[in-house]
């Protein structure tokens, strides 16, 4: 029976490509399902044979550890260069987007506090 190796929700395309490549390079049989039309059903990379799953899981673990260090190093380099995204840079580039979200957060907090306020009175 097939086992899921990687849920593709919120996975960057380059990461999914890397996973496909290392599975092919190690001759592990796999297939991919795409998410449904409305994003309800799961898009994933599946391992066809149960016997290949431990090796695929080990390879995935090694890949994720390497990717973690690579992404951290890239972020640190961007931070040193001043090109990393910060709240201030986001506010300068997309003020409307930030303000709408801040208003939404405040409204949500107010709605959450309303029952307590009404009970307190």
* Cβ contacts of 47 within 8 Å, gap of 6 or more: 2, 3, 4, 5, 23, 28, 29, 30, 53, 56
Class of domain 1-84: alpha beta
SS in 3 state form for the chain?
CCEEEEECCCCCHHHHHHHHHHHHHCCCCEEEECCCCCCCCCCEEEECCHHHHHHHHHHHHHHHHHHHHHHHHHHHHHHHHCCCCCHHHHHHHCHHHHHHHHHHHHHHHHHHHHHHHHHHC
Residue 37: its pLDDT value, please? 80
pLDDT in tens, 42-88: 799 999 999 999 999 999 999 999 999 999 999 999 999 988 888 99
Residue 54: its pLDDT value, please? 95
pTM: 0.69
Given strand 3-7, what is the order of strands in its sheet? Answer: 3-7, 44-47, 30-33
pLDDT in tens, 104-115: 999 999 999 999
**Mean pLDDT computed over every residue of the chain:** 93
- Taking residues 86-99, what's their average pLDDT? 93
Residue 42: its pLDDT value, please? 77
């Amino acid at each position: 029976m097939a086992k899921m190796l990687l849920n593709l929700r919120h996975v960057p395309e380059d990461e999914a490509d890397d996973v496909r490549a290392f599975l092919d390079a190690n001759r592990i049989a796999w297939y991919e399902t795409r998410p449904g039309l409305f994003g309800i059903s799961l898009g994933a990379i599946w391992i066809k044979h149960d016997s290949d799953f431990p090796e695929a899981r080990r390879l995935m673990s090694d890949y994720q550890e390497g990717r973690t260090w690579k992404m951290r190093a890239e972020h640190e380099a961007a931070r040193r260069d001043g090109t990393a995204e910060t709240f201030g840079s986001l506010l300068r580039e997309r003020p409307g987007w930030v303000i709408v979200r801040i208003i939404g957060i405040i409204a949500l907090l107010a709605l959450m506090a309303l029952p307590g306020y009404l009970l307190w009175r």
